[in-house]
A and B are shown apart, each in its own frame.
Chain A
Amino acid sequence: MQDFSYVAAKTVPEAVALLDEKGEKARILAGGTDLIVQVREARRDVDLMIDVKSIPAVNVLDYNADTGLTLGAAVECYKIYAVDAICDAYPSLIDATTIIGGTAIQGRAGVGGNLCNASPAADGIPPLIVLNATCVIAGPNGERELPVEQFCTAPGQTALEKGEMLVSLKVPAPASNSSSFYLRFIPRNEMDIAVVGAGASVTLDDAKQTIVSARIALAAVAPTPLFAEEASALLAGREISDAAIDEAAQAAQAIARPISDMRGTAEQRTHLVGVLTRRALNGAIQRVQDAS
């Protein structure tokens, strides 16, 4: 493993200044479950790791039924699913945080790090997309916000500019009659990377028979996680039916441009987009309908 320096930053400005000074060879260390492996396997060249876990702003975990969730970028998965109100409000986020790695990984890894790692197969990203999350980014010129679906730009690449870091994620409070669902396909039952992941959120009318709006997101079928915008849009105003869900699934399949690799073939992935999109939508709808 290459040699590098380590700094435990105390404030966001301190971390930003270090990032700005060192450039690309400085990396934020949060859970480290991707970064440490990448450096160890010489897949990333790093001179400096900036540990942000003692910065209060990146450790915020605050949920309010009116204003929504503020999720610090370094908050570990296990802290997220330990909060009942968050589990109730954002079930797709819980679906994802309980399947990222094993329990030991969930003790270190967080959704913010999952996003910054920018893997096309990240389980944490489709839920953020379907939940309409916004990234709060700090940089040398202050803070800015970015819709989460615009954050990843290529495998391992993000919209972060030189000197910028992800501070937190803001997730709006869920609308009434809404819920969300995330699932992935893996050959085993745990510890695998998604062959395909699909997330969906739906808002139904008061009768819970018509879809007011929906959002669908996919993982592992393109260079970045995808917001399936057209597939989502065509569900708006539709009565719940197999036909409507099939249409959305087909629209999702249409935007998938998967590769074949050791985790799955392109044909398998395209097929699974259809299966998983249907299951994610049905799962989200079921959750709304099951809620009293």
Chain B
Amino acid sequence: MARKSHVQTTINGETVEFLCESRQSLLEVLRDELHLTGAKEGCNNGNCGACSVILDGRLVNSCLVLGVETEGKSVETIEGLAEPDKLHPIQDAFLENAALQCGICTPGFIMSAKALLDSNPNPTEHEIRYWLAGNLCRCTGYDKIVKAVLDVAKASA
């Protein structure tokens, strides 16, 4: 049986310890070990973005990070975004714009949009489309997703 390593990391601001095999991705650790199932598996090879999380401030596909690599690092997931009594403005904008249908890609899009707006609070439509190209949505045709992100950008301008 594969040996497990002890890993200590910070997830959504909290120190978390877990055991994992080297072959377990950060996505598997989040979902199966820590029961943070907001990050989704759509392809498991970095092509759909449904597993997007922010690692040390930078957007990554959690399916392409090993759990053991997160020792001493900081991970932000969809579960950490809202405040207890208030959604994050991106979450509000997704709801108001009806920017989701089935919702499976939504956590990834929101994390991706957050990473964009953290680094570029006022992106153009083209910049939004370029940045979000790594997130696939099959339901919406992206129209309302892009509009939701534009709305957040406008509100902060």
A and B touch in the complex (CB under 8 A): yes
The count of chain A contact residues (Cβ–Cβ below 8 Å) is: 31
Give A117 Cβ to nearest chain B Cβ, in Å: 13
A85 at interface by CB-CB < 8 Å: no
Q: Determine whether B122 belongs to the interface, using a CB cutoff of 8 Å to chain A.
A: no
Q: Which residue of A lies closest to B28 (CB)?
A: A1
Residues of A contacting B66 in the complex (Cβ-Cβ under 8 angstroms): 6, 29, 32, 36, 49
A189 close to chain B: CB less than 8 A: yes
What's the count of A-B pairs with C-beta under 8 Å? 84
Q: Which residue of B lies closest to A38 (CB)?
A: B45
When each residue 57-81 of chain B gets 1 if its CB lies under 8 Å from chain A and 0 otherwise, what string results?
A: 0111101111011010000000000
Q: How far is the CB of A33 from chain B (nearest CB, A)?
A: 5
For chain B, which range describes its interface: under 10, 10 to 19, 20 to 34, or 35 or more residues?
20 to 34
Complex Cα distance, B70 from A138, in Å, reads: 26
Q: Considering only CB atoms, which chain A residue lies closest to B2 in the complex?
A: A3
Say whether, besides A2-B23, A6-B66, A103 and B134 are in contact (CB < 8 Å).
yes
Most chain-B CB neighbours within 10 Å: which of A1, A4, A76? A1
Tell me if A102 is interfacial: C-beta within 8 Å of chain B: yes
Minimum CB–CB distance from B136 to chain A (whole Å) comes to 8
Chain A residues closer than 8 Å to B63, beta-carbon distance: 36
Least CB distance from B119 to A in Å reads: 9
Q: Does B38 contact A (CB under 8 A)?
A: no
Which residues of A pack against B, CB within 8 Å? 1-6, 8, 29, 31-33, 36-37, 39-41, 49, 51, 53, 76, 78, 101-105, 107-108, 189-191
Report, nearest first, the 10 A-B pairs whose CB atoms are least far apart.
A102-B134, A190-B133, A6-B22, A107-B58, A3-B2, A37-B45, A1-B23, A107-B60, A104-B61, A104-B59
